[in-house]
Structure 1
């Protein structure tokens, strides 16, 4: 994830970890992320906590390069 091409994935999973650790079951703050892909990953983390997606979906975002 250290490659610049994966910056959006890194951003999203960093926020996803925060969401999971906090147990945050709402989308507050996600709109402040810089990238669309980062926001999408963060939304998946909330959806996971709400039981609306599986761990496979949450962890299935591929890296580039």
Structure 2
């Protein structure tokens, strides 16, 4: 970790982003080793991120309207 990463973490925390938004962003940006660690630690979150990535507009089937 670097001072820059630490300072950015402070800014992100201050921006009051939802926890799972930060986790999913970390999963998107992670290198292979860190991605595997995050997936192992948070498998349900990783599964949802994958499902939303594949879904049109990120909407899961139960979230789509029948308009």
- Normalising by structure 2, we get a TM-score of 0.33
- Normalising by structure 1, we get a TM-score of 0.33
Structure scoring higher RCO (CA < 8 A, sep ≥ 6) equals 1
Q: Name the structure where helix makes up a greater proportion of residues.
A: 2
User: Larger radius of gyration, structure 1 or 2?
Assistant: 2
